[in-house]
Amino acid sequence: MKNNLLPSIILTTALAVLLGGIYPLLLWGIAQMAPHSGKGFTVESTHGKQYVNVGQAFISDGYFWSRPSAVDYNAAGSGASNKAATNTAYLAQVQQRIDDFLTKNPTVDKREIPVDLVTASGSGLDPNISVQAAYVQIARIAQKRGIAVDRLEQLVAEHIQQPLFGVLGPQKINVVELNLALDALP
């Protein structure tokens, strides 16, 4: 027993220092290189109102829609639906989202609907959509707001965010920022 006690204490102490001190400091250091130093940020409208940079429930036809949320955009309880891709209730929910999208966007073919407009993200709070998800909504928004399609295409192009460090992840668009810019159009 004496032979095992000292190595156990040394191993426990070493792992506590490594995993309780060095590893968190390493992750904190990496986060400092991320946008906004890993602290998150709010988005401010032209009217001074601040929005948290998480997914929002934009459901009006005059706005770009966000990804669906399995937690109703509740930042206090983020999470996914945890349903398998073969779950019949999940498939019915996705089909309902497709049907709703096609009803509101009659110029869009079903094959053109990006997956991120009908499935929730892992956290249910993703503020970003794909570039294609923004472009397929332009016709509906142009008709609803009376804005020229080419002006909306330009607005979308101005809000495309490139992958982190140019290679990590796809291009994306922050829906909160895009909709605030949409409201600020003359």
Based on the fold, state whether residues 149 and 64 are members of the same structural domain. Answer: yes
Confirm if 110 and 98 have CB atoms less than 8 A apart.
yes
Task: Compute the average pLDDT of residues 6-34.
Answer: 92
Based on the fold, state whether residues 90 and 130 are members of the same structural domain. Answer: yes
Sign of the CA dihedral with 44 first, then 47, 48, and 54 last:
negative
pLDDT in tens, 107-165: 999 999 999 999 988 777 788 999 999 999 999 999 999 999 999 999 999 999 999 88
Based on the fold, state whether residues 47 and 32 are members of the same structural domain. Answer: no
pTM of the predicted model, to two decimals? Answer: 0.73
Compute the distance between CA of residue 68 and CA of residue 126 in angstroms, rounded to an integer: 9
As for how many domains the chain has, the answer is: 2
Based on the fold, state whether residues 21 and 69 are members of the same structural domain. Answer: no
Compute the distance between CA of residue 183 and CA of residue 37 in angstroms, rounded to an integer: 28
**Candidate ranges 59-63, 72-76, 81-85; pick with highest mean pLDDT:** 59-63
Place of tokens 């997956």: 115
Q: Which domain holds residue 6?
A: 1-39
Confirm if 55 and 120 have CB atoms less than 8 A apart.
no
